[in-house]
Chain A
Amino acid sequence: MKKLILVVFAFVLVLGSCDVSDLNENEKDPTDVPADPLFSNAQVAMSTFLHNTNVNLNIFKLISQQWTTTTYTAEPRYELDSRGIPDNVWIEIYRDVLIDLKEARLKIEANEVLPAAVKANKLGSIQVMRALAYSSLVNIFGTVPYEEALNPDNTQPTYTDGQTIYMDLLTRLDTAISNFDASADGFGSADVFYNGDISKWIKFANSLKLRLAITIADVNPSVAQTAIEEAAPNAFTSNADNALVPFQSSPPNTNPVWEALVQSGRQDYLPAAPLVSRMNNLDDPRRPVFFTEDPDPTDSEQFSGGVYGQTNDYINFSHFSALIKEKDRAGVILGYDEVEFILAEAAARGYNVSGTAATHYNAAIRADMEYWGVPDAEIAAYLVQLDVAYTTAGSTFREKIGTQKWFALFMQGLQAWTEVRRLDEPDLQAPPLAPIDTYPKRFTYPADEQIFNQANYSDGASSMGGDMLTTPIFWDVN
């Protein structure tokens, strides 16, 4: 019996001396971080998304018909599902941008030692980035999760219609603008756009407000007019104010266009004929800045673009220039030229902004050309052409501004697509073998939403009139 007791005792001692509670600790990743790196991450992720040209994520340069492909034509033909492009967009903006912005906001709000002015500036910067992200989502999909989004305890958030989101974004931008204090610090070096310069953030916030307002001008003119008249005096006044993402010379933060065109070693992309031929018609001096000359001597045109949505032989067309392919070329998030185009349109719509439609129109084109380094004389010569000059360029402001804004939004695919849909200019057609025979009005929802958020997905889709490429976004009424 004594032996048995000893045996039992041994067992108890062996296990009792050894607990498991100090294991399973993640010693390499933090459980808490400051707000600044979260904000930086959201800023970088959003900017990189907008400039990405990976066919799995951002195909807006194709959709806007400024770029096309050589071999693989599925994406310019609007085949979104086989690569899950809507899913990837959704994931990128919600999971990699917005949740980090929210997390940064919560940490700043909970920070009791941060001076009030710095706190306001940081929260304001977050609101501006948030408005950029949500407006992009609305412009791509329409009705999207908003009020109930970004809460892991509610994994089936309801959808909110785009108009409501836009109104809330404008309100929040107003709050941010009024709370900004240019004499205090913001995110400092964690702010990759402006290095914490709040006076620039005030201009950026107002410029973004202009963009949001003009986007809804057709559907809600009174709100648009008020917002534009408020924001116009405080927006960008030169290219020096531009919101730019300074891509780096060392991976992984190089310009995604360099990655696709140079680093990959592949020749997948070409300037698209709809863009190049329209620029050819106007002898656009940006062509040698953007493109190389057509290497095919049999072609009569100096510059030529690939046929949109069909296979193209790379060697038969112009290619992207060395400048476009620069590794660390900055990416435009919102430029001064766009502000001037908005003011031109506002003036044409009769809003009370200083200057005329024509002066703003000219200033917009000039701003874009100067940004790309086009010599003054060539800009002047361009502006006086009958088909360019504001008075003679077309019959409506949509026609006059639409094409020029589309040129100026070269390399900003999402915004270019948005403006083409809103202004219906230039008149772009669906390519052969596309699943629809008109220019696409939106992206279909992610397949994941149909699976993981089925009821709200259905409500969202039906409230818009269906989940189709041809369903217009709320602001697309003309």
Chain B
Amino acid sequence: MIYKSIQTVLMFSIVFLLCIGTALAQNTGTIEGQLFDQQTQEPLISANVFIQSLNKGAATDADGNFTIENVPYGTYDLRISYIGYTTKTISVTVDQPTVNINETLTQDVSQLDDVVVTAYGVERQINQLPYAAQKVNVEQVTTSGSDNFISALSGRVSGMKVQTASGMGGSTDIVLRGYNSLTGNNQALFVVDGVPYANERFNSASVEAGFAGYDYGNTGVDINPEAIESITVLKGPSAAALYGSRASNGAIVIETKKGAPGRELVDISYNTSVGVSMVNSNTFPDYQQQYGAGYFPSFFSQDVDGDGQAESDPVARYTADASYGPKFDPDLNVYQWDAFYPGSPNFGKPTPWMAAENGPLEFFETGTNVKNSLLINGGIESGGYYSLGYTQGNTRGVLPNSSLDEYKLSFSSGYQISEKLQVNASVDYSKTEGVGRPERGYSTIMSEFRQWWQTNVDVNAQKDAYFRNNQNLSWNLVGDKSGPFYWNNPYFERYQNFASDERNRYFGHAEAQYEVLDWLSLTGRVAIDNYNQLIEERVNVSSVGVSNYFRQNETFTEYNYDLLANYNKQLNDKIIIDGVVGANIRRQYVEGISASTNGGLLVPGLYALSNSVNSILYPGETDRKLGVNGYFASFNLNYDNFLNIALTGRRDKSSSLPEGNNVYYYPSASVGFTFSEFVDADWFSLGKLRGSWSEVGNTAPAFSLQDTYQRPANFGAAGLYTLPNTKNNSTLKPEKTKSWEAGLQLGFVNNRLFLDASYYDQNTLNQILPVNVSAASGYTSKFVNAGNVENRGVEVTLRGRPMVSNDFSWEITANWSKNINTVKELAPGVDYYEFVGPQGGVSIGATDVGNKAYGAIRGSDFIYHENGQPIVGDNGYYQTTNTSDNIIGNMNPEWRGGVSNQFNYKNISFNFLVDVRWGGDVFSLDQWYGQGTGLYKITAGLNQKGNPKRDPVSEGGGVKLPGVNEDGSTNDIYADASNVLGPYGFVRNPSAAYIYDGSYVKLREVGVSYSLPQSLVGQTGILNSATISAVGRNLWIIHKNLPNADPEQTLAAGNVQGYQGGNLPATRNVTFNLKLNF
């Protein structure tokens, strides 16, 4: 059927060729010329020259030359633009075969007049857009030293949240204008050269819920960042309505670099970078150094030395994964974990009882990142271009035995077959290999270090113990010392129990563009996005728990067939209309199989399904086929450059909704009015108002219509089937997002001061969600259409150039956004919808009562006196509610912002970016457990009387907690703080005690670059330019409130945020780049 469609497209393309191939001949000419910098008179490389009325343009080569061929005789507005320069529009009359133009541009770092690429490849000036879009500085993104270009977008676009889960290759959450869908995808759509680019996440639901698991990142990182020419962020549904439901959360539109068509010219650029990353100790536990192993301050008494006396042999409590043990005393010799392993230097020997010299911070290594890339862009004189790129990145993470290797090959080419027919094709291949990706969440190494650790354990001693014989010699032994209890030796865990993954991806398209009429062109395109992924997870014999080998193979394939008719016509000297009419067929196939060993591994260290102790269970099989057929059309009208109107419409038919309800429409309408055209003042360079409205539909997840039975493993001879946990619904309707927005753009003094502000209001209704229901109904959830989530907010971008002179310029850009998220309604009778119920007695979900938050955090709370103070009971500990449905937090921040500064002095430029998130709560399971086990400094030290807190209350110890007695008077009771049952941590406190303000202010990026002067570069004979730069990323967390961790870190990308437990520390990166153009 698909093939039939391809045939149809091809057939019609041929029909067109035959019918129209001999189209009327017309006199045409060539515009050529050279562009220079007005001050330096140096040629401008890769500047754009564009004839809007013909939708035709060219880029300058290394000498600043450009050529536009086949221009029908006539007079045109030629727009000349270049990044960092003021765009110029000149009038050109073509009345002879060759028209020559030499022009100069003046520097303008405000970059206001950039051409952006909107839906379906329509290029527009950003000023003319009637909806919100923002362009990203690609240069800064690709040189940022971040291990994926998506995370480097953080702070650069107002209203865009980019949050990356901790650790090498972590998944990135990219959300525009807040979370809309309660259970569906809220991620922005990636579109590369007009084709949707799958950005699937590979982290299990259990990672999001705080349980142990690996995060394999998202597949959007497969794009070769060096080949990116431009990134445009279409923020609202209006901008993206043409792409259909997947763009209801906005779109990131990426165009790749193309060579210079029609010029026999080759551009070669070579980029190499070396980066290092180091753990930021400010985001890792700062342990107390006064007490060691134990839940209570006592040693084991065991007769270790064989003299028949147990009392004389103090043994550190190796079973306890806590540090509430006896006070350190370097004069006291104690048998510790390393006294019990033969071969250990301390075997059978007691050692001084003191805090470890090397704490868990020493576990982390210095990460490295080496990247090399080569990009060749070339033009073909007879019409056409090619672009060939290769990028290789090799990353070593800060965790031992972790690496991420990426190989990206991209090729694109186009050829002008005839005056009317142009063909383009591209193919990208990428290979991603991860080894030892970080495991996050509960019962991982990070949970061990942050929650359950003994401060007397020396990490280097654990390292030596592991490397002596590669065995699991853990500090945490079971009572009879026969093996590890709760925790493995962390080195054994890293070197033996690691996951690995490999993904091979092909992404390519072929298209033919045919110019039917001078104002109408037809494009047929076939695009394929395909990857195969293998994930393997390992747990070796002798680990805590059951040894295991798990593997998952998955093949993802998406086909997009597009037929587009682009039109662009100047009706008279004031009115230009353009737009597209199109059809899209999308088919997505996901096939996979996963299996794991059963009952453990027979031979240690052999990771094969056949090495299973017991026969393996049924493999899991995935086989999903989904499709959408869509028609769409857009109409843009520009009246005399001051009025822009855009109308779009799309009709989709989706396979995952029931027949009869599976067709939905998205209309959108936008208008922009440039009132500065009517103001004659030199200082007022731009004034524009815009407004838009749209309605976007969304479809249901696969297989949510019909009930099917699940197959548990056989019980002896009995085969089992069971009803599923979620009741499906055969009457689902499409989900709808209604939105409107208004915007204002103001530019002053040649746009040296520029403001772009938007207000938006969007409601997502009829949400398709598996609502939780009483399990007494026989199901725990049921698919319904219900709910209304509203997001309202303001986005502001302010840009200024306070200083501009011949040699020096300073530009400052501030992005600020505030989103107010309100759950207006859930399903009838339901006032809370849980996303996850992780450990710590908390639940994260959406509620339409209380703070009405998408991302409310619920849990037990303090009991407050009417004077607002928490009540302390007679025992000196806080009283807590025995209900856990109290709203104790909200994961959404109050606002986000970023300020970037760029200074240029001659050939040197310096930039820095400060990124701010203000507000938003985080529950810290690390503090909940880690304070409970006595790891953190707050659990030790001195009390209000100046005595050790951990001393008995009768001897002046204990802690007087801030709060009041039941009568409202200030608490004066000292509570015992000597052991795990003390006032800190999970035993005595409500969940609310571990809610922290997640605000942060970060120096996200500092960069300095130096371009060799053109005079010097010229002498080499082959070089066109050479730039060296150094970029520091995440160097300094200027402000935060969450102790011992980075409030920005999440467990995994996804709808659940505001929870930390077992996260990796943040890293500081410094990267050196060398970029050469030949």
Q: Which residues of A contact B (CB under 8 A)?
A: 2-3, 6-7, 10-11, 13-15, 17-21, 23-33, 36-38, 40-41, 44-45, 70-71, 81-82, 84, 87, 90-91, 94-96, 98-100, 102-103, 144-145, 149-152, 154-157, 189-192, 246, 248, 250-253, 263-267, 295, 298, 311, 313-315, 433, 435, 446-454
Contact of A18 with B5 at beta-carbon distance under 8 Å, contacts A29-B709, A248-B716 already known: yes
Whether B653 is near chain A, meaning CB under 8 Å from some CB there, is: yes
B780 contacts A266, C-beta separation under 8 Å: no
A17 contacts B655, C-beta separation under 8 Å: no
A3 contacts B20, C-beta separation under 8 Å: yes
Q: What are the 4 A-B residue pairs with the smallest beta carbon separation, nearest first?
A: A314-B479, A99-B778, A29-B708, A23-B655
A264 / chain B contacts, CB cutoff of 8 Å: 544-546
A253 to chain B, nearest CB (A): 5
B776 contacts A94, C-beta separation under 8 Å: yes
B779 contacts A99, C-beta separation under 8 Å: yes
A15 contacts B719, C-beta separation under 8 Å: no
B623 / chain A contacts, CB cutoff of 8 Å: 26-28
A207 to chain B, nearest CB (A): 22
A145 to chain B, nearest CB (A): 4
Q: List 21 A-B contacts (CB under 8 A).
A: A6-B19, A10-B12, A24-B625, A28-B622, A29-B709, A71-B319, A94-B776, A152-B727, A152-B782, A189-B717, A248-B715, A251-B614, A253-B713, A265-B544, A266-B485, A315-B302, A449-B774, A451-B832, A452-B773, A452-B774, A454-B829
Bound complex: CA A11 to CA B522 (Å): 11
A155 contacts B583, C-beta separation under 8 Å: no
Nearest opposing residue in chain B for A37, CB measure = B721
A151 to chain B, nearest CB (A): 6
B298 to chain A, nearest CB (A): 10
Partner of A313, one of B479, B621, B782, B830: B479
Nearest opposing residue in chain B for A144, CB measure = B776
Whether B702 is near chain A, meaning CB under 8 Å from some CB there, is: yes
Contact of A18 with B2 at beta-carbon distance under 8 Å, contacts A265-B478, A313-B479, A451-B885 already known: yes
Instruction: Other than A71-B295, A156-B773, A253-B716, give 16 A-B pairs with Cβ distance below 8 A.
Output: A21-B659, A25-B625, A36-B719, A37-B719, A70-B479, A100-B723, A150-B776, A151-B777, A152-B773, A155-B773, A192-B718, A265-B544, A315-B300, A315-B480, A448-B775, A453-B776
Partner of B319, one of A6, A70, A192: A70
B517 / chain A contacts, CB cutoff of 8 Å: 3
A314 contacts B718, C-beta separation under 8 Å: no
B204 / chain A contacts, CB cutoff of 8 Å: none
Whether B483 is near chain A, meaning CB under 8 Å from some CB there, is: yes
Partner of B720, one of A2, A40, A152: A40
- The proximity string for B residues 774-790 relative to A, scoring 1 for CB distances below 8 Å and 0 otherwise, is 11111110100000000
B693-718 CB contacts (< 8 Å) to partner A: 702-703, 705-713, 715-718
Chain B CB within 10 Å, residue with most, of A17, A24, A25, A190: A24
B772 contacts A81, C-beta separation under 8 Å: no
Whether B908 is near chain A, meaning CB under 8 Å from some CB there, is: no
Partner of B599, one of A3, A250, A267: A250
A7 contacts B522, C-beta separation under 8 Å: yes
B467-497 CB contacts (< 8 Å) to partner A: 478-480, 483-486
B5 contacts A40, C-beta separation under 8 Å: no
A192 / chain B contacts, CB cutoff of 8 Å: 715-716, 718
B317 to chain A, nearest CB (A): 8
Nearest opposing residue in chain A for B581, CB measure = A11
B611-670 CB contacts (< 8 Å) to partner A: 614-615, 617, 621-629, 631, 653-656, 659, 662
B680 to chain A, nearest CB (A): 43
B654 contacts A20, C-beta separation under 8 Å: yes
Whether B751 is near chain A, meaning CB under 8 Å from some CB there, is: no
B718 / chain A contacts, CB cutoff of 8 Å: 36-37, 40, 44, 189-192
Contact of A452 with B830 at beta-carbon distance under 8 Å, contacts A20-B628, A27-B623, A31-B708 already known: yes
Contact of A41 with B779 at beta-carbon distance under 8 Å, contacts A30-B709, A251-B599 already known: no
B782 contacts A314, C-beta separation under 8 Å: no
Whether B598 is near chain A, meaning CB under 8 Å from some CB there, is: yes
Nearest opposing residue in chain B for A44, CB measure = B715
A149 / chain B contacts, CB cutoff of 8 Å: 776-778
A96 contacts B722, C-beta separation under 8 Å: yes
A37 contacts B720, C-beta separation under 8 Å: yes
Contact of A24 with B5 at beta-carbon distance under 8 Å, contacts A41-B722, A155-B777 already known: no
Bound complex: CA A100 to CA B627 (Å): 33
A156 / chain B contacts, CB cutoff of 8 Å: 773-774, 829
Partner of B702, one of A3, A24, A31, A36: A24
Chain A CB within 10 Å, residue with most, of B478, B480, B776, B986: B776
B508 to chain A, nearest CB (A): 20
Partner of B8, one of A17, A19, A82, A266: A17
B360-384 CB contacts (< 8 Å) to partner A: none
A23 contacts B478, C-beta separation under 8 Å: no
Nearest opposing residue in chain B for A298, CB measure = B310
Nearest opposing residue in chain A for B12, CB measure = A10
Whether B296 is near chain A, meaning CB under 8 Å from some CB there, is: yes
Whether B1043 is near chain A, meaning CB under 8 Å from some CB there, is: no
Bound complex: CA A41 to CA B712 (Å): 8
Partner of A250, one of B484, B546, B614, B705: B614
Contact of A451 with B831 at beta-carbon distance under 8 Å, contacts A29-B710, A102-B778, A263-B546 already known: yes
B339 / chain A contacts, CB cutoff of 8 Å: none
Nearest opposing residue in chain A for B729, CB measure = A152
Bound complex: CA A144 to CA B776 (Å): 9
B295 contacts A95, C-beta separation under 8 Å: no
- The proximity string for B residues 1-12 relative to A, scoring 1 for CB distances below 8 Å and 0 otherwise, is 110110011001
Bound complex: CA A151 to CA B623 (Å): 30
Bound complex: CA A190 to CA B720 (Å): 9
B883 / chain A contacts, CB cutoff of 8 Å: 450
A191 / chain B contacts, CB cutoff of 8 Å: 718
Whether B837 is near chain A, meaning CB under 8 Å from some CB there, is: yes
A446 / chain B contacts, CB cutoff of 8 Å: 775
Partner of A314, one of B15, B480, B831: B480
Partner of B585, one of A18, A81, A95: A18
Whether B565 is near chain A, meaning CB under 8 Å from some CB there, is: yes
Partner of A253, one of B16, B631, B715: B715
Contact of A24 with B19 at beta-carbon distance under 8 Å, contacts A14-B9, A100-B722 already known: no
Whether B117 is near chain A, meaning CB under 8 Å from some CB there, is: no
Nearest opposing residue in chain B for A28, CB measure = B621
B478 / chain A contacts, CB cutoff of 8 Å: 265-267, 314
A408 to chain B, nearest CB (A): 27
Nearest opposing residue in chain B for A152, CB measure = B727
B516 / chain A contacts, CB cutoff of 8 Å: 3, 7
Whether B399 is near chain A, meaning CB under 8 Å from some CB there, is: no
Contact of A13 with B479 at beta-carbon distance under 8 Å, contacts A99-B779, A155-B777, A192-B718 already known: no
B706 / chain A contacts, CB cutoff of 8 Å: 26, 31
Chain B CB within 10 Å, residue with most, of A10, A13, A150, A454: A10
Nearest opposing residue in chain A for B713, CB measure = A252
Nearest opposing residue in chain A for B13, CB measure = A10
B980 / chain A contacts, CB cutoff of 8 Å: 311
Whether B278 is near chain A, meaning CB under 8 Å from some CB there, is: no
Whether B312 is near chain A, meaning CB under 8 Å from some CB there, is: no
Contact of A246 with B716 at beta-carbon distance under 8 Å, contacts A7-B516, A313-B319 already known: yes
Bound complex: CA A87 to CA B981 (Å): 26
B809 to chain A, nearest CB (A): 49
Bound complex: CA A7 to CA B625 (Å): 30
B653 / chain A contacts, CB cutoff of 8 Å: 20
B780 / chain A contacts, CB cutoff of 8 Å: 91, 95
